[in-house]
Copies of this chain bind each other. A is one copy, B any other.
Amino acid sequence: MKDYRELSREELLALHRETEAKYEEVKGKGLKLDISRGKPSTEQLDLAEGMLTVISKNEDCYSDAGEDCRNYGNPTGLKEAKELMGAIMGAPADQVIVCGNASLTIMFNTVSRSFTHGVLGSTPWAKLDKVKFLCPVPGYDRHFSVTEYFGVEMINVPMSPEGPDMDLVEKLVAEDDSIKGIWCVPKYSNPQGYTYSDETVRRFAALKPAAKDFRIFWDNAYGIHHLYEEEEKQDKLLNILEECRKAGNPDMVYVFASTSKVSYAGAGISAVASSPANLEEFKRYMGFQTIGYNKVNQLRHVRYFKNLDGVMAHMMKHAAVMRPKFETVERVLEQEIGGTGLGTWTSPRGGYFISFDALPGCAKAIVAKCKEAGLVITGAGSSYPYHRDPQDSNIRIAPSYPTSEELALAMDVFVLSVKLVSIEKLLEEK
């Protein structure tokens, strides 16, 4: 395909007429499509039907240790649930706490606790003039929303396929003791699908932050969410807990994960793994905050998945549903945008998203164009703190939720919108 940026005004005008006609045709269909959120599809949720009845009688409700999971007690979670989540997260069971449905809640509570009670004896952040977080961008909107809610100043750090710009991270945390944390989605990142390189992980573990209460919020949300069964097509991530320990920084990282995209997004279990000292702080907090999370649901997960092998076998069923959807997105982008110079995109081997970078200044208009034709996409700018994409370029594509047919239609709308808006932009500049 010819690079649109090299076309004459007349050629662009002709393409615009042609594209607009196609767009109006699609728009006339009155579509209602949504590729905005990383939600599992019905087909994926249906995979775990057996979990609904794996605990079905009174006598099923007891843990291996004989605890009645229906009753009070054990606010940090069942031992066998810690083992299961620990296996997923690369942590020994005694360095894991298992909680309720949403790992986002654990992250939020961790920030909240740091504000009211500090971190391992540090000054509560609420008493500081300024608290800052580093935010690799583009990144996960709900991370940034948490820190925004607490009035944290967020500093953008550019992402590359290797992970965040570590030169910048090292420099900033070393010189500014008001920087208290960094948000990371280290594997199959949201929205790019990048996995941090071994060197990136080691440099994280070896950080020398000026703030003793600096913490890495390592949200390994997609740690086992491969698209391919073949091991050589699966990304590998170094174990940050081990690397931090080896580097003499055992307390510097919190690792989060959940089964939101393993079992149920609306009825899963979540967990945090960290150093013994950090976990003591979590436990103390939870001792006041709760009489315990839903232990029957923890037991459901353990009984249904049994162990890491069971989980991984289940993830391959997810992969079989997800893979063709990712391939559809990439095929349409390659066919319709490839070579036009109108955009670049990532090709993840796992996770839930594809990141698309349009010509600067076009993202908002593209999302609006899509909406006009009945396709909802995550708001442009959402993947940046304060929803401000300085380039107005990044768009997150979430292919999981629609059916394959809907997704193909959605991608038609998307590429037509990209072309239309981009051509108009190029015409403006002529």
Chain A interface residues toward B at CB < 8 A: 37, 39-40, 42, 45-46, 48-49, 52-53, 55-58, 60-61, 68-73, 100-102, 104-105, 108-109, 112, 115-117, 124, 126-127, 142, 145-146, 149-150, 260, 264-267, 285, 288-297
Contacts and interface: CB of A to CB of B under 8 A. Distances in A.
Contact of A290 (B104, B264, B296): B104
20 contacts: A39-B71, A39-B72, A46-B58, A52-B55, A52-B57, A53-B53, A53-B56, A69-B267, A100-B294, A104-B289, A104-B291, A105-B289, A116-B116, A116-B150, A126-B126, A146-B289, A264-B296, A267-B294, A267-B295, A267-B297
Counting chain B CB atoms within 10 Å of each CB, the highest count among A55, A69, A264 belongs to: A264
Nearest to A146: B288
A264 B293 CA distance: 11
A288 B46 contact: no
A50 B258 CA distance: 28
B104 A101 contact: no
Given A112-B112, A126-B126, A70 B290 contact: no
Nearest to A113: B112
Counting chain B CB atoms within 10 Å of each CB, the highest count among A104, A149, A267 belongs to: A267
Contacts of A42: 68
A63 to B, nearest CB: 10
Contact of A297 (B69, B102, B115, B297): B297
A139 to B, nearest CB: 16
A155 to B, nearest CB: 20
Counting chain B CB atoms within 10 Å of each CB, the highest count among A46, A60, A61, A72 belongs to: A72
Given A53-B53, A72-B37, A265-B70, A292 B101 contact: yes
B288 A149 contact: yes
Contacts of A127: 126
Given A68-B45, A100-B101, A294-B100, A288 B108 contact: yes
A101 to B, nearest CB: 5
A69 B293 contact: no
A149 B46 CA distance: 43
A127 B116 CA distance: 10
A407 to B, nearest CB: 17
B101 A266 contact: no
Counting chain B CB atoms within 10 Å of each CB, the highest count among A56, A124, A260, A290 belongs to: A290
A189 to B, nearest CB: 18
B101 A290 contact: yes
A294 B101 CA distance: 6
A71 B126 contact: no
Nearest to A284: B149
Contacts of A146: 288-289
Nearest to A285: B149
Contacts of A70: 45, 48, 264-267
A93 B142 CA distance: 28
A306 to B, nearest CB: 19
Counting chain B CB atoms within 10 Å of each CB, the highest count among A37, A48, A58 belongs to: A58
B57 A290 contact: no
Given A71-B45, A288-B149, A293 B58 contact: no
Contacts of A68: 42, 45, 266
Contacts of A266: 68-73, 292, 294-296
Contact of A49 (B58, B69, B291, B292): B58
B291 A260 contact: yes
Contacts of A109: 289
A70 B56 CA distance: 18
Contacts of A61: 45, 52
A72 B265 contact: yes
Contacts of A145: 288
B37 A102 contact: no
Contacts of A112: 112, 116
Nearest to A38: B72
